[in-house]
Amino acid sequence: MELPLLHLALVGTPNSGKTSLFNALTGSRQKVANYPGVTVERKEGFFVTPLGRQVSVVDLPGTYSLRGRSPDEEITRDFVLGKASGETVPDLVLCVADSTNLRLTIRLLLELKRTGRPMILVLNMFDIASRRGITVDVERLAKELGVPVVTSIAVRKGGTADLLQLTDDISAKLAEPQENSWRALSVSELRATQREADRIIADCVSLPARPDTWTARIDAVVLHPVGGLIVLALILFVMFQAVFAWAQPLMDLLNSGFDALGEFVHDTLPGGLLQSFLQNGVISGVGSVIVFLPQIIIIFLFILLLEDFGYMARAAFLMDRIMGGAGLHGRAFIPLLSSFACAIPGIMATRVIDNKRDRLTTILIAPLMTCSARIPVYTLIISAFIPARDVWGFINLQGLVMFGLYATGIVSALAVSFVIKFFMIRDFAPAPFMLELPDYKMPRLKSIAIGVYTRAKMFLHRAGTTIFSMMVLIWFLASFPQPPAGATEPAIDFSLAAMIGKALAPLLAPVGFNWQIAVALIPGMAAREVAVAALGTVYAIEGGKEAAEQIGQVLATKWSLATALSMLAWYVFAPQCASTLAVIRRETGSWAWMAVTFAYMLVLAYAASLVTYNVAVAFGAG
Ligand SMILES: Nc1nc2c(ncn2[C@@H]2O[C@H](COP(=O)(O)OP(=O)(O)OP(=O)(O)O)[C@@H](O)[C@H]2O)c(=O)[nH]1
Ligand SMILES: [Mg+2]
C-alpha cells in the first residue's frame, strides 16, 4: 500500500541551520548565511527517504518562541499550529538546534511540545560542538525531553543519514498527535520554562573546560569601538578598490568580444534595419550591460564571504549606535544590508522587525541603499569621467568616488529615517539591540560558489529578459519613423524617441540632462541598468559609424563633467525600479506608501541633481 505523503516542518532558533538542512535533504539552493533572520518565508521541498517514503518538508523562519512577535515569527507559529490557511499541519516537527548553544532551543522545544505534534530534536552543527569538546548525553536528553533526539551535520555529505533513518523508523509507526494545549506563555511562564530547560541541559550536556577562544579573540578587535570601525572601513575600502582594479581586465575582454560580434554583424549583414537592430539594439545594448558581470561577481564575492564568515552581524553591532541615533531599530541592519544586493530581498527581510513603525521606516529607506543594478551606471560614468589616477600614491580615485556614492546612499537613508522619526513618531524610545552574534565559521567554498553563481545567473537573466525587451522597444522608438529621403541630420532626430526626449528635455534641462538622457531615463524605470544600454543605443544610432565604439568614450565627448556628476547624483536617489515599488506595495499593503516612496525619492533625486549640476558649473565643470 502506498503510504500518504509525510509532512515535515523545520522549526528552530534563528541561525541553527534549518535552511542548510532543508537544502541537504531536498537538494535545493535556498539562501543560507551565518546570521539570524535569513529565512523570512515558508518554503516547501520534497524528498524520498531511504525506505522510499515520500516526504514534503517545509523550511520556516527561525524563532525563539511561538509568541510570533514579528511577521516572520508569525509565519512559523501559524504553520506549526495549523492556522495558516490552506496548509497541512505537519505530521512531524523537526526541532533544529545549534548544538553549541542549546539553551534557547530546548526552551522552544518545551513550548512546542504543548502543540501536541510528534517531534524530533535535531542536534545540528554537531561537528562544531564536537570540535569544541561539548558532549551531549543523547539518550538521556531524549528521555528527559520525551522526544527522539538525533545528531546532524547539515553541511557535510552524509551528515543527515541518522536523521533520515530516524524519520523512517518513526514514520512507520507515527504516534497520533496529542491534543493541542498551546497558548501564548506569559513572561513568568517563559522564565519557568527556561529554568526547566537549563536544568535538563545541566544534566545532559557537558561543556569543555576551555571555551572557544577564536570568536572571542577576533571580536576583541572587530567589535572594538574604534578599532572595529577602522576594520569596517578598511574592508569596504578594499572591496571598492577591487571592483575597479580586478574587474578591468575581464571587462576589457567582454567588451572586445561584443565589439567584435558587432563588427561581424556589421560586415556580414547588408546595411539596413536588421543590421541596425542586431548591432545597435541587441549587441551594443544588451552587451553594454553584460560587460558589468565581473563587477557584480566581485561585489557578491565579498558580501557572501563576509556573511558566511559571520562578520555581518558584527557590522550590525558596530553600526547600532549610529543607526539608533537616526531612529532605526538594530534589526534594520540586516534588511538594509541585503538591499545592497537588491532592495527587494531587503524589503522582505524587514519582516524580522516586530514594531510596525520601525518596519515601515526601514522599508521606506531600503531603496536608498546602493543596489547592484546601480553598479553598471556608476561604473560607466565613473570610468568615462573620473581619471584613473592615484590619490596619495595608493588610493584609486575611481574606487574612491564609488565609495563616496555608496556612502551618500547610506547617509541619506539615515537622514531620511531621522526625518521620518522626527515628524511622525515623536515618542520614540529606541529598542535595545537584540541580535545574537553567531560564532565565526570558515566560509564554505561550495556555498559561496553557489551564491555567486545564483547572483550571476540572476543578472544575466535580467539582461536576457527585462533589459533585452526594453532594448527592443528603445531601438524601435529610436529608429522609427525613418528620416525622409535626402535628410542630412542624424536619423534619430526624426524618431519617436527624439520627440519624446525633446518634449521632456525642458523639465530636465535645469539639472543638466539632454534629451538623450531623458529617453534613457523612462525605460530605466523597468530596471536601472537599462539606462546604460539605452544611452548606448541612442548614441549609436545617432552616431552611425561610431556604433562600435564603447559607450563610455562616446559619453566623454558628448557630456560635460557637470552633467555626468548630476547623473550620478540622480542615480543615488531616483526611484528607478518598478519591481521595488511593487514589493513596497505588497509588504506595506498600501498604495499610499508606495506613492510616498516614489514621490520622496523623485524629489530628492531632482534636488540632488540640481545642486550637483549647478555647483559643478559654478566650479567650471560645465
Ligand atoms: N559547520 C557547520 N555549519 C553549519 C551546519 N549547519 C548550518 N551551518 C552553517 O550555519 C549557518 C546558518 O545556517 P542557515 O541554514 O542559514 O540557518 P537557518 O536556521 O536557516 O537560519 P535563519 O533562516 O536565519 O533562521 C550557515 O553559515 C551554515 O553554513 C552544520 O551542521 N555544521
Ligand atoms: Mg533559514
The pLDDT tens digits for 556-590 are 888 999 999 999 999 999 988 888 999 999 999 99
Residue 98 located in a structural domain? yes
- Per-residue confidence at 548, pLDDT binned at 50, 70, 90? very low
Extract the runs of DSSP E, i.e. beta strands, from 300-424: 390-391, 395-396
- Collapsing DSSP to helix, strand or coil, 248 comes out as helix
Residue 275 has pLDDT above 90, yes or no: no
- Per-residue confidence at 422, pLDDT binned at 50, 70, 90? confident
Residue 453 has pLDDT above 60, yes or no: yes
Residue 65 located in a structural domain? yes
- Collapsing DSSP to helix, strand or coil, 151 comes out as strand
Question: Ligand 1 pocket, 17 CB below 6 A?
Answer: yes
Q: How many Cα atoms sit within 13 Å of 260 on the Cβ side? A: 6
- Pocket probe for ligand 1: among 20, 134, 348, 447, the residue whose CB has the most ligand atoms within 8 Å is 20
Q: Which atom of ligand 1 is nearest to the CA of 34?
A: 27
Residue 359 located in a structural domain? no
Of 462, 463, 449, nearest in space to 301 by CA: 449
Residue 225 located in a structural domain? no
Across the chain, mean pLDDT equals 87
Q: Which atom of ligand 1 is nearest to the CA of 14?
A: 25
Residue 421 located in a structural domain? no
- Pocket probe for ligand 1: among 155, 333, 338, the residue whose CB has the most ligand atoms within 8 Å is 155
Cα–Cα dist 383/436, whole Å: 41
Residue 546, pLDDT score: 47
| For residues 300-304, average pLDDT | 88
- Per-residue confidence at 544, pLDDT binned at 50, 70, 90? low
Question: Ligand 1 pocket, 34 CB below 6 A?
Answer: yes
Residue 425, pLDDT score: 59
pLDDT in tens, 277-286: 888 778 877 8
Number of domains in the chain: 1
- Per-residue confidence at 383, pLDDT binned at 50, 70, 90? confident
Residue 245 has pLDDT above 80, yes or no: no
Residue 291 located in a structural domain? no
Calculate the CA dihedral of residues 209, 212, 217, 223 and round it to 10 degrees. -120
Q: Hey, which of 37-41, 411-415, 462-466 has the most confident mean pLDDT?
A: 411-415
Going by alpha carbons, the residue nearest to atom 13 of ligand 1 is 17
Residue 211 located in a structural domain? no
Whose cell is 536588421? That residue is: 274
CA of 13 to the centre of ligand 2 (A): 10
Residue 543, pLDDT score: 66
Give the relative orientation of helices 561-573 and 374-385 as an angle to the nearest 10 degrees: 160
Q: How many Cα atoms sit within 13 Å of 598 on the Cβ side? A: 17
Q: Which domain holds residue 138?
A: 6-206
Would you say 330 and 361 are in contact if contact means Cβ atoms under 8 Å apart? no
CATH of the domain at 70: 3.40.50.300
| For residues 341-366, average pLDDT | 88
Q: In angstroms, how far is the first alpha carbon of the chain from the final one?
A: 81
CA of 158 to the centre of ligand 2 (A): 20
Residue 521, pLDDT score: 87
Question: Ligand 1 pocket, 18 CB below 6 A?
Answer: yes
Going by alpha carbons, the residue nearest to atom 16 of ligand 1 is 32
Question: Ligand 1 pocket, 72 CB below 6 A?
Answer: no
Minimum mean pLDDT range among 26-35, 159-168, 320-329, 345-354: 320-329
Residue 541 has pLDDT above 90, yes or no: no
Residue 475 has pLDDT above 90, yes or no: no
Residue 209 has pLDDT above 80, yes or no: no
User: How much of the chain exceeds pLDDT 90, in percent?
Assistant: 41
Residue 242 located in a structural domain? no
89-117 in b/e form (b: 16+ CB < 10 A) is bbbbbbbbbbbbbbebbbbbbbbbbbbeb
Q: Which ligand has an atom closest to residue 11 CA?
A: 1
Extract the runs of DSSP E, i.e. beta strands, from 370-524: 390-391, 395-396
Residue 588, pLDDT score: 92
